[in-house]
Structure 1
Amino acid sequence: KRAFFCQAFITCLISFTPSCYGGNILVFPIDGSHWINMKILLEELHAREHNITVIRGSNSWYISEKSPLYTSITIKMTESFEKMFDAQIDGASALTFLKITANFLSMISQAHVISADVTSQIMDDKRMIKSFIDSKYDLVLTDPAIASGVVLAKYLKLPLVLNVRWITSGDGQFAIAPSPLSFIPVPGSGLTDKMNFIQRVKNIVFYSIIVFQQKFVVGPTYDALCEKYIEGGCDIVSLLQGADIWLFRSDFVFDFPRPTMPNVMYIGGFQCKPAQPLPADMEDFVQSSGEHGVIIMTLGTLVNALPTNTADEIARVFAKLPQKVIWRHKGQRPSTLGNNTLIVDWMPQKDLLGHPRTKVFVAHGGTNGVQEAIYHGVPVLGIPLFFDQYDNLVRVQERGAGKILKLGDISGHSFERDLSELLYNDSYRQNMQRLSRLHRDQPVAPMDQAVFWVEYMIRHKGASHLRTEAYKMPWYAYHCLDVVLLLLSALTVLLLSTWAIFRFLCCRRKRKTKTKQH
């Protein structure tokens, strides 16, 4: 009862927070799955009567030009990120996991170049820049995995809110908070917070690769923008560190404990909601599974299908199971498909995860899907393809709530073995449901937290008092190397002086002794 009344009291305090009427917000999002969770935040801000303007590309495949939520500003673009990505996946059957990752990182580098060109196009358009200034925006809300919005906010001298998990160089927390490599795994390493000596060596190697990528691959793209458009120049990491508020799409039920900063607000799972009723035909299919339940499988918003041979192996395993299967698959229909498997172009993922008959979630390990699985307490069989997905799934596996099956290791035997273990070993479901209870037991819902801090920014014209100024310090001052050098110099002088005095005294004594002897 005490916990209930405490939570009710905190909720009441938030509800009596001063209102923020009609804020004017400029949004620079990223397309694809990143837009999906950005849109959910915009829906809530729109419901609170804020005025929202969204910058979108002319060939955007998710961000609509017309929407009741926002006014759009469309920037002409000739290259499509979606086509770039699909071309890489089409040839994945002959690639190892490392090669897929390398191809994806190459695509990301190309995306940064395209993004920088779009930013230049915006800043060279004097009429557009004047309209931004005349609109008197209260803040810029952006996803910094592609940093165009960060540069634009600096150019317009507007407060900056990041809807963030990834920045241009990986996990955003490494840029803003102390990150000891002894217990904080670097993105891509596939490590946990418990590392032996060899794993710590591996962690440092991966960190070195990320630093190299940021400094020599991604960084110069944005440095050129800063030099051309920002008075006094800048670098993209400093611009990120200068953001007022970080709405961080993670929490410590999912992530490993680590140091953080006061302007980082953890909103992991903010997009999660209680399940809604399924469409009638899908509900009938789910109910037909009886006591065996349902398996759902999807590889996210960008990946339409696995290689044909892999898809056939998976379909063959599904066909042997007593469970029903709902599989989002847009590629060639598997030749081994069973009558128990429903192939769909789209599925209400959140509502299916929240259905009591759903037993296992077969997924690629994207942040959104993993957090929704945690929210609804459904164990995950992960098939990571690229970027952060393996690391996300490592966190689930480490907590005993799922298993990882690499794309190159998939066979009929391995897929059936791991899927059966999740279906019939109840510990995976129990562990995931424990994570679900931990995630839900918060004094303030993640969405309310996110909206509060956006409105806080509008009310107070920024949040500089929460932002560290450490990023403005030279690297040697940040690490106190100048202080260490001074102290070492003073100690050296003291030791040399002491040695010189003793030597002088000793020599003087020897001379006196010799004089007496003569």
Structure 2
Amino acid sequence: MWSPLQLGHSRIVRYFLAVSVAVLCCESGKVLVYPVDGSHWVNMKILIEELHSKGHEITVIRANSSWYITETSPLYTSITVYDEITSFGDFFDEYLRNVMDFQRGESSLLTFINVQKDFLSMISKAHLIQCNMIDQILQGKELVKRLEDEQYDLVLTDPAMAGGVVLAHYFKLPLVLNVRWITSGEGHLVMAPSPLSYIPMPGSGLSDKMSFLQRVKNTLFYGIIQFQEHFMVGPHYKRLCDKYFSQGCDIVRLIQSADIWLMRADFVFEFPRPTMPNIVYMGGFQCKPSKPLSEDLEAFVESSGEHGIIIMSLGTLVNSLPKDTTDEIAAVFAGLPQKVIWRHLGHKPSTLGNNTMIVNWMPQNDLLGHSKIKVFVAHGGTNGVQEAIYHGVPVLGIPLFFDQFDNLLRLREKGGAKILELSELNGRTFEKALKDLLSDPSYRENMQELSSLHKDQPMKPLDHAVFWIEYVMRNKGAAHLRSEFHKMPWYSYHSLDVIVVLLTAVAVIVFAIVALVKFLCCKVCYRQKVKNE
């Protein structure tokens, strides 16, 4: 038998439990996620995991050809849409070989131009497929009704492929971007003032300190970005926008109208620049303390003794470097006292040493956080660079394409990395760069300082990002943080209309004064003439 006191206490407990559940239900929301595949999905999945742990319901729209986004997951419900991608095959491997051949003088300029043309065509085709996929979604009446009936609280998307931006606008939902790149370049370029005098353009290989000729080069690279947007990518989205929205709508304007930009950047790493109130910086949000390694991997790492380990990975898009280059790299590794863990999917190098372990996959974050790590040989992807900063590990960068050189340049400017471009990559240069990093303690000291600065924040970047996602849910958007500049025509944004009016007014006043003076002079002259007569 329960006493009255116990029964009362039980009712109170049940009451508070019910209230807690009610509060949780009220705070949980429905999020429609439209991700980008590949390494971008790695970033998005971390946000999804965190949102799921807080009780939010996640729906992910994925393509049937997706590499990494699985159809079934305990984290989300998926909607699979057919796309037109058959396969890009070994495009990136072939592209890399052709670029290296050209830089070594083994290919003609015409070959290089054709390779670059194919590269731009591939990007254009990827966006066309994306637009066709969105068109397919919006033409499916049952799917559109399902998405409307779900009453999502917001759309979370990566605007490197802007399909999710179009869906958010179509369903009139608040929009949060998990962003570094948009359809035509770095996200800041369409969101905040970006003077070409000190804001380096992607691919330019410049820092924020530019000479006159470098500023000329920077302007030319800006022109390339505009060409890509207006002629290679933009027309695909324009046709889609014209079909479903009013005339004059374009994809850049839709991207600019997002409520919150979760920017995968950190000013410990980036050059200082203007920004906007709805840009939330979460650089390094995917980084975390290392976990213990598997027994076999730990045994290999520990066998390195006082010399430590080197790890090498060139990302997910490129399986391997050309055979002659990998043989030279393997020979350099073989001559080092350090142990090496190398993610390599190509042929087994003939010069491979006993100190080198070839793997198809490695726990990169856990290895970077290990006490034995000495150097990270990397292609310069954003995730890898930020993990290196988080753990304070110097980097030997071998940039391949996209933003990788720019990422490594920022690290080199801060004294934490050396860069080997493809044109100079061989056994001799690789060995020298590696030994410089191993022997000069300043590289590690600089990276440790960057690590300390990155971690010295009042709130973890991931917690910061999730707070703002939930902020948008609670407030049905964040319009008060969004500048209205994106609704202005270009001539108004640059105040050209004001300048024209003011110059016209000055011209009218000057003309009137000149006319008046001329009139008075003529009148005086006339009177003198009359008087003389």
What TM-score do the two structures reach when normalised by structure 1? Answer: 0.94
Indicate whether 1:196 and 2:205 are aligned: no
User: Which stretches in structure 1 are left out of the alignment for 5+ residues?
Assistant: 1-17
After superposition, residues 286-297 of structure 1 pair within 5 angstroms as 286-297=301-312
Indicate whether 1:56 and 2:71 are aligned: no
One-letter identity of the residue aligned with 2:101 = A
Q: Deviations over 1:272-296 (max 9, x none)?
A: 0011111111111111111111100
Provide the rounded CA distance (Å) in 1 between the counterparts of 2:246 and 2:144.
16
Stretch deviating more after TM superposition (94-103 or 354-363)? 94-103
One-letter identity of the residue aligned with 1:234 = C
Given candidates 27, 36, 44, the residue that maps to 1:30 is: 36
Indicate whether 1:470 and 2:461 are aligned: no
Give the drift of 1:157. Answer: 1.1
Partner of residue 415, structure 2: 400
Instruction: Name the CA shift for 1:473/1:148 in 2 (closer, same or farther; >3 Å).
Output: same
Local SS of the residue matching 2:213? helix
Provide the rounded CA distance (Å) in 1 between the counterparts of 2:87 and 2:261.
26
Partner of residue 475, structure 2: 460
Give the drift of 1:231. Answer: 3.7
* Counterpart contact for 1:85–1:107, Cα < 8 Å: no
One-letter identity of the residue aligned with 2:80 = T
Given candidates 450, 457, 466, the residue that maps to 1:442 is: 457
Given candidates 478, 496, 501, the residue that maps to 2:511 is: 496
* Counterpart contact for 2:341–2:359, Cα < 8 Å: yes
Partner of residue 94, structure 1: 101
Provide the rounded CA distance (Å) in 1 between the counterparts of 2:312 and 2:88.
21
Partner of residue 423, structure 1: 438
Partner of residue 172, structure 1: 187
User: Which stretches in structure 2 are left out of the alignment for 5+ residues?
Assistant: 1-22, 105-111
* Counterpart contact for 1:85–1:302, Cα < 8 Å: no
Given candidates 206, 216, 219, the residue that maps to 2:234 is: 219
Given candidates 413, 416, 426, the residue that maps to 2:428 is: 413
Given candidates 466, 482, 490, the residue that maps to 1:451 is: 466
Count of residue pairs brought into register by the alignment: 501
After superposition, residues 339-358 of structure 1 pair within 5 angstroms as 339-358=354-373
What TM-score do the two structures reach when normalised by structure 2? Answer: 0.91
Given candidates 45, 59, 63, the residue that maps to 2:51 is: 45
Q: Percent identity over the alignment?
A: 62
Indicate whether 1:149 and 2:152 are aligned: no
Task: Give the 4+ runs in structure 1 shifted more than 3 A.
Answer: 84-93, 95-106
Provide the rounded CA distance (Å) in 1 between the counterparts of 2:142 and 2:257.
27
Given candidates 317, 333, 357, the residue that maps to 1:302 is: 317
Indicate whether 1:251 and 2:246 are aligned: no
Give the drift of 1:91. Answer: 4.2
* Counterpart contact for 2:341–2:357, Cα < 8 Å: yes
Provide the rounded CA distance (Å) in 2 between the counterparts of 1:428 and 1:369.
17
Give the drift of 1:81. Answer: 5.6
Q: Taking CA–CA contacts closer than 8 Å with sequence separation of 6 or more, which of the two structures ends up with the larger relative contact order?
A: 1
Instruction: Name the CA shift for 1:211/1:89 in 2 (closer, same or farther; >3 Å).
Output: closer
Local SS of the residue matching 1:326? strand
Partner of residue 71, structure 1: 77
Give the drift of 1:212. Answer: 1.2
Local SS of the residue matching 2:27? coil
Q: Deviations over 1:235-254 (max 9, x none)?
A: 01000000110000001111
One-letter identity of the residue aligned with 1:329 = H
Provide the rounded CA distance (Å) in 1 between the counterparts of 2:210 and 2:92.
36
Stretch deviating more after TM superposition (229-238 or 405-414)? 229-238
Instruction: Name the CA shift for 1:240/1:114 in 2 (closer, same or farther; >3 Å).
Output: same
* Counterpart contact for 1:138–1:159, Cα < 8 Å: yes
Give the drift of 1:56. Answer: 0.8
Indicate whether 1:131 and 2:146 are aligned: yes
